[in-house]
Chains A and B, each alone.
Chain A
Amino acid sequence: MGKFLISIDAASCTGCMKCGLACSELYHRAFNPLLARIRVIVKGEEAEISFTEECTECGVCVDQCFYGALSKTPRES
């Protein structure tokens, strides 16, 4: 279990992938949202956001979201 509980508001997501860019750089030292532990898929007017099993809930992607589609609350230690 990671440091944060991450919540999603897919209605605010723009598909900008800033979240995935940050995650991929953090864990792979290279930018590519397809390598990230967060997945964002825009289909028609809908956006879907999900996390892979490797997600550590470190919260770094949340800090990169400028649109309020991701938020985090610290977990009780």
Chain B
Amino acid sequence: MDWNGFAGNVLYVDLSAGELESRPLSRDLCEQYIGGLGGCIRLAYENITPGTEPLAPENPVIIGAGPLVGTSVPASSRVYGMTRLPQSRSVGWCGAGGVNFGAFMKYAGFDFLVITGKSDRPVYLDITGDAPVIRDAGSLWGMGVEDACRALWEKHGRPAGVLGIGQAGENQAAYAMAFVDRLSTMGRGGFGAVMGAKNLKAVIARGMNGITVADRKAYKKLTKDLFENIRNYPYLKEWQDLGLMKSLPIISKEEYSEAKVRRMACVSCPIGDKDIIRVSGLIATSSSAMNLYVPTIFGMKDHKEAVTLMTMLDGFAMDMFEFFAAVGFAGDLAVAGIISSDEATPPIDLTKFESMKIWAEKTAYRQGLGDLIARGLDAILERCGPEAAPYLPYKVKGMMPYAGPKAPLPWNLFGTMELGQILDPRGPHVGSGGSPTYFAQRPLEVFPKHLKRMGVPDDALDRILPGWREGAPTDLNIGRLLKYSHRWFTILGSLGVCARAQINRFYNYDLCSDLYQAVTGIPAQGSDLGDRADAAWALLKIINMREGFGRKDEEPPAKWFEEPPFCNYLTGKPITPGEVGVMIREYYAEQGWNPETGAPAMPAD
């Protein structure tokens, strides 16, 4: 079959048997679930047997890139993964800015990889040559992400895309991630641990196939207009200069420009936000320099020490938020005498580099108390018993929701991202819950324009923003709006477009439909694309219900209502558990799911 947009193949790898098989991509999968994120969800539905333990060989690592990835559509770089995650135990989407990896996987001939089994020794998957090969990774095992990438590039040549893990993944720490081309993080909740459990250090990809588009004329027109819009964006230069520091300035502009060595961007991205910086002679690469200063949020004063610690965590490929949550929890329990001071030696102090450096190592290598910390919040709670509960940070599905009045992202208004932390089936993540509520207390009058851009139909707008037709909205229904956040996220992710604010603003629902059709040749009229995204998101929910997740797992943490509490987005008054309960019901109802249980209808096959 001739494919446009898609590479046309799925690579199945069985690491136990050492077998690789390329199978043709299913046209049905693309037509029903768009591709990329939607395709990964469908493959997870087919390939994850309910009850599979996250670290068991049978749990597949599924990786995919959507039909626009590899084309010149701006910022169409996204890579997605699906697996059963060890920390949340949910079957979760994992996403990353694809840097080179997503596009290069497609140039190598594959839209998706489905990797099962467990190798009897460390290996990496090489898809840079004529045929994919499983290769020995003995010399890479034990290396941090940066060193492993460099070694693979030295061996296989540059450019090539590398998805790889660090020591935390090798040692199956519950919140180990994977990194894409050493720059993007992928898989909160333990995607890296699942790779580690398979003895899979990395996947390296490059190929000489080209991605074609079905309707070149339409494609040229659509992308020409899009490029012009971006070129004319008044804040283009500022975004390019500052990256994520523009919206979340963790250090001064002056300090940042002094540290900046090079701006990096994913393939096709005109507003890149990845960083290489130098601080007192230390070179650090990151998905954003902002992340490198996160330890300052926890009280570490010296910026070089903060960056050094983050470079260690990134090298180990360990999720910083979960690490700080777990190590902070253990530290508080040690102060309270619930964990003995012998075990908690040296004393755990998030403000001190010398302490954190040792605890980062102990955690990644699972030594002493570090082993418990590496297993995450639930494991600590289980060992220490109910007397530890008062010291817990916010917790949803075993993980820390990192937006909240007392969370690292100290947002106190309850918008879609905040509610999404309990309603995304993968567990707490703000990535899928984007909407205009991201900008605190924007006037409601600007909402219709943004919601229409996300594809919210007029009849839904009546429910979400009553009074909008008269130009004077009187209320905002966060629960119902979240359905469309999830839908928009699924559309962008399934196409392969980056959802970051500076990118997403140039896209709208109709443009996405038009691009999909021009690139793939698959018709996408009317509400089709939204329906397909809804089907994919519902399937994600169904996959998780198969694993036993239900309404009980979507309760907000009690601490969200303690001082200082989350507040109503419009009134600024503290929210109550009852209000959140109503939002959850309304979310389910807007999705067309059972309003009590949250169960979607089962798919036909």
Beta-carbon contacts under 8 Å, B73-124 to A: 100, 103, 107
Tell me whether B231 and A66 are in contact (CB under 8 A): yes
- Shortest beta-carbon distance from B438 to chain A in Å: 24
Given contacts A31-B72, A45-B261, A45-B262, contact A16 B208 (CB under 8 A): no
* A28 and chain B: residue at smallest CB distance: B210
Report yes or no: A14 in contact with B264, Cβ–Cβ below 8 A. Answer: yes
Q: Which residues of A contact B209 (CB under 8 A)?
A: 30, 32
| Closest Cβ–Cβ distance, residue A41 to chain B (whole Å) | 5
Q: How far is the CB of B155 from chain A (nearest CB, A)?
A: 14
By the criterion CB–CB under 8 Å, are B159 and A30 in contact?
A: no
Complex contact A30–B72 (CB within 8 A)? no
Tell me, yes or no, whether A17 is within 8 Å of chain B by CB: yes
> What residues on A are CB-neighbors of B212 within 8 Å?
29-31
Shortest Cβ distance from residue B105 to the other chain A in the assembled complex, whole angstroms: 12
CB <8 Å contact, B70 and A25:
no
A35 touches B72 (CB 8 A): no
A55 at the interface (CB under 8 A from B): no
Instruction: Kindly state the separation between the CA atoms of A15 and B101 in the bound complex, as whole angstroms.
Output: 13
User: Quick one: closest A residue to B158, CB to CB?
Assistant: A41
| Distance, CA A29 to CA B212, complexed state (A) | 7
A57 CA to B332 CA in the complex, in Å? 64
Contact A16 B262 (CB under 8 A): no
CB-based contact B72/A18 at 8 Å: yes
**Chain B hits for A44, CB < 8 A:** 150, 283
**Contact with B265, one of A15, A25, A34, A35 (Cβ below 8 angstroms):** A15
Does B54 make an interface contact (CB < 8 A)?
Answer: no
How many B residues touch A, CB cutoff 8 Å?
Answer: 39
User: Among A40, A41, A45, which residue has the most Cβ atoms of chain B within 10 A?
Assistant: A45
**Please, how many residues of chain A have a CB less than 8 angstroms from a CB on the other chain?**
28
Q: Please tell me which one of the listed residues A11, A15, A21, A29 contacts residue B216 in the complex, with CB atoms under 8 A apart.
A: A29
Query: Which residues of the partner chain A approach B266 to less than 8 Å between Cβ atoms?
Result: 16
B134-150: CB near A (< 8 Å → 1, else 0) gives 00000000000000001
- Chain B residue contacts of A67, Cβ below 8 A: 240, 263, 265, 272
Task: Find B272's partner among A14, A24, A28, A41 (CB 8 Å cutoff).
Answer: A14
Contact of B206 with A by CB under 8 A: yes
In the docked arrangement, what's the CA distance between A50 and B550, Å?
A: 56
The reply on B276 being an interface residue by CB < 8 A is yes
- Asked if A22 and B208 sit within 8 Å, CB to CB, the answer is no
Q: Roughly how many angstroms separate A40 CA and B356 CA in the complex, as a whole number?
A: 38
CB distance from A54 to the nearest CB of B (A): 15
Say yes or no for A49: interface residue by CB 8 A criterion.
no
A41-70 CB mask vs B (1 if < 8 Å, else 0) is 111110100000000000000001011000
Q: Contact between A42 and B210 (Cβ–Cβ < 8 Å)?
A: no
A21–B210 alpha-carbon span in the complex (Å): 10
The answer to whether B265 and A16 have CB atoms under 8 Å apart is: yes
Inter-subunit contact A31/B263 (CB<8 Å) = no
Known: A35-B208, A41-B158. A16 touches B268 (CB 8 A): yes
Chain A minimum-CB-distance residue to B71: A31
**B269 near A: Cβ within 8 Å?**
yes
Q: Is the CB of A16 within 8 A of B267?
A: yes
Of residues 266 through 284 on chain B, the ones whose CB sits less than 8 Å from some CB of chain A are 266-272, 274, 276, 283
Q: Which residues of A contact B267 (CB under 8 A)?
A: 16-17, 21, 33
Q: How far is the CA of A31 from the CA of B231 in the complex (A)?
A: 22
Q: How distant is the Cα of A25 from the Cα of B519 in the complex, in angstroms?
A: 13
Contact A42 B240 (CB under 8 A): no
Q: How far is the CB of A19 from chain B (nearest CB, A)?
A: 10
Q: Is the CB of A14 within 8 A of B72?
A: no
The verdict on A64 contacting B262 (CB below 8 Å), with A35-B208, A45-B276 known, is no
Between-chain CB contacts (< 8 Å), 24 pairs: A14-B262, A14-B265, A15-B265, A16-B265, A16-B268, A16-B272, A17-B100, A17-B268, A30-B209, A30-B211, A31-B72, A31-B210, A32-B211, A33-B159, A33-B267, A35-B208, A40-B159, A41-B159, A43-B153, A43-B158, A44-B150, A66-B270, A66-B271, A67-B272
Contacts A16-B269, A30-B211, A32-B208 aside, 16 further interface pairs with beta carbons under 8 A come to: A14-B269, A14-B274, A15-B159, A21-B71, A21-B72, A29-B216, A30-B212, A31-B71, A34-B107, A34-B208, A42-B264, A43-B153, A64-B72, A66-B230, A66-B231, A66-B270
